[in-house]
Amino acid sequence: MSENENDSGNGNPHYGPWIWSAYRAYNELLREKIKKRFDAQEGPWMDKVADVLVEIVNARWEGGRKKEKGAEALFEKLEKLLEE
């Protein structure tokens, strides 16, 4: 069996799924580590952005019933956060 067959699983149909599982696990682990770094560095700022986005969605939801009040102020608040 050639080296290429071992890597891709072409020589044995049982290798392929295991190799792809290993690549997938590697990528998932890397994604989790990246998410942790972003959370540590940007988490507090992202929390603020998420809060404003929730306020905007809630204002729009209520706006259908009571006209949007303060929507401009919320969008200004979001704009300021995005400029940080």
Domain assignments of the chain as residue spans, ordered by start: 3-83
To the question of pTM greater than 0.85 for the whole model, the response is no
Structure tokens at 2: 């050639």
pLDDT at 58: 86
| pLDDT number for residue 11 | 62
Beta carbons within 10 angstroms of residue 57's beta carbon = 11
Contact assessment for residue 7 and residue 19, using Cβ atoms and an 8 Å cutoff:
yes
**33-71 pLDDT, tens digit each:** 999 999 999 999 999 999 999 998 888 887 665 555 567
Contacts of 63 by beta carbon, 8 Å cutoff, 6+ apart: 69, 71
Q: How much of the chain exceeds pLDDT 70, in percent?
A: 75
| 55 burial type by CB count under 10 A (0-12 exposed, 13-18 middle, 19+ buried) | middle
Q: Residue 58 corresponds to which tokens in the numbers above?
A: 């809630």
